[in-house]
Amino acid sequence: MAHFLFFLLAIICIASVLGMIISKDQAYTALFLIVAFVCMGGLFGLLEAPFIAAVQIIIYAGAIMILFIFVVMMINLRKGVGPEKKKWTMYFAVVIAAVLVVELVLTLKGTLEPISSAALESLGSPTDLGRLLFTKYLYPFEITSILIIAALVGAIVLVKKRDKE
């Protein structure tokens, strides 16, 4: 079952990423990206990392995608501007892709054996994360609240309507 789900999600993920690259329409691109993100979330779930799976879906497929779509809507860019096709960018891209492939192979080498499930047991479970957040990382966690309110105030003061003199 797990194997079947893995290959299903992986294939959908790769297909939608390909669709995202090939598609010319900005809105479709964004939608393909959502599908890819959701599949990634599913893959994290299969790896017994439910918290990361949830975050992947909530933050990437939710919040960040909405930002993307807002931008697409606001600048009204249905048909994307094609990237400038220069020879050297092409070569550069090939080189970087090759480096990435090598890196991937090196990382995978030796880690392909199935990981024992004992090691996975507490990896990113929401309970543990929550407990850490409210004990060891309480201070950073509380600072985040100041951070958010500072960001809110800053954003509002920059965009709100001016009151009359």
Partner 1 sequence: MNTIYALFPVLIIVAASLLVMILEVFLKREDRSYLAYISLLFLIAAAAGCVKFWDKGYSYFDGNLSLSNLSLFFCFILIIATFLVILISMKYLTLQNANYGEYYVLLLFALSGMIIMVSSSDLIVIFLGLEVLSLSSYALAGLRREDEKSNEAAVKYFLLGSFASAFLVFGIAFLYGATQATAIPSIVEGLQSGSSFGTLGLVGLGLVVIGFGFKVAVVPFHMWTPDVYQGAPTPITAFFSVGPKAVGFAVLLRIFIPYFKDALESQLMFGLLWIIAAITMIAGNLIALRQTNVKRILAYSSIAHAGYLMVAILAQDTQSLVFYLTAYLFMNIGAFAAVIALGKKDHEYLELEDYKGIGFRYPWIGATFAVFLISLAGFPPTGGFLAKFYVFSAAVRQGLVSLVIIGVLASLVSVFYYLRIIIYMYMKEPSYDVEINIDNPSLFLALFLCLYGVLQLGIFPGNILVLISQAVAALPF
- The contact set with partner 1 (CB under 8 A) reads 136-140, 143-144, 146-147, 149-151, 153-158, 162-163
Q: How far is the CB of 150 from partner 1 (least distance, A)?
A: 4
Non-local (6+) Cβ contacts of 12 within 8 A are: 35, 39
The nearer residue to partner 1, 11 or 151, going by C-beta atoms, is 151
The nearer residue to partner 1, 93 or 147, going by C-beta atoms, is 147
**CA torsion angle 120 122 126 129 (round to 10):** -120
The nearer residue to partner 1, 91 or 141, going by C-beta atoms, is 141
Non-local (6+) Cβ contacts of 32 within 8 A are: 16, 17, 19, 20, 23
The nearer residue to partner 1, 63 or 156, going by C-beta atoms, is 156
Give the separation between CA 138 and CA 89, rounded to whole angstroms. Answer: 46
Q: How far is the CB of 148 from partner 1 (least distance, A)?
A: 9
**Residues present in the chain in total:** 165
79: β partners: 25
Q: How far is the CB of 85 from partner 1 (least distance, A)?
A: 27
